[in-house]
Amino acid sequence: FTGSAFGSAAIWQYESLKSRVQTYFEEARADWMDKMRPQKRGDFRKQVNIWWNNLTEGQRTVTGIIAANVFVFCLWRLPGMRRIMFTYFTSNPASRALCSPMLLSTFSHFSLFHMAANMYVLWSFSSSIVSLLGCEQFIAVYLSAGVISTFVSYVAKMATGRFEPSLGA
């Protein structure tokens, strides 16, 4: 999984760089059109766009991860989803589904405080780590760390004979 994550991140990084270069030239050409077109005032989309553009690349990257974590947290609150959540979003070496929970449990939090604390810490160092690694490599590290830590959890559970499901990486 880790090799695939970093290989995919390298391809994504190349395509992202290529897209940024193309966008730069397209924006330079389209800049004069924006000056000619009347601007809307008080547009909600414009305000969200301004907020989004003021975020660092790391904060934008982590915003997606936070959104995924919040979405999974909300799924835990739906009674009809409990069976699916326990099967695929908790890690347990005694389960029939072993591989997908290794990744999906990375996004799983049952306590609001636990999720909020984790997301705050992730947000706090996101700008520096993404500027160091790039967003693609950061996501590969994040996902790989989740899968590897779940694997280590499986090994520890097998060694101690404790087969309870657990959440998170």
Distance CA 163, CA 105 (A): 15
Sign of CA dihedral 91, 93, 99, 100: negative
Please give the pLDDT value at position 38.
58
140-165 residue pLDDT tens:
999 999 999 888 988 888 898 888 88
Please name the residues in contact with 137: beta carbons below 8 A apart, sequence gap of 6 or more: 6, 9, 13
Please give the pLDDT value at position 35.
57
- Which of 79, 82, 68 has the alpha carbon at shortest distance from 122? 68
Residue 115 Cα distances to 2, 31, 88, 111, 165, angstroms: 24, 42, 18, 6, 18
Task: State which amino acid sits at residue 148.
Answer: I
Cross-strand bridge partners of residue 91: 166
- Which of 169, 140, 167, 112 has the alpha carbon at shortest distance from 3? 140
Contact 18, 136 (CB under 8 A): no
Contact 165, 90 (CB under 8 A): yes
Per-residue pLDDT of the chain (169 residues; tens, 9 = 90+): 888 888 888 888 888 888 888 887 777 666 655 655 555 566 777 888 888 888 888 899 999 999 999 999 999 999 999 999 988 898 888 888 778 888 898 899 888 998 999 999 999 998 899 989 988 999 999 999 999 988 898 888 889 888 888 887 5
Distance CA 61, CA 59 (A): 5
Distance CA 169, CA 153 (A): 8
Please give the pLDDT value at position 101.
87
| Assigned token pair, 153 | 């959890």
Kindly calculate the radius of gyration of the chain based on its CA atoms and give it in whole angstroms: 20
- For the entire predicted model, the pTM comes to 0.77
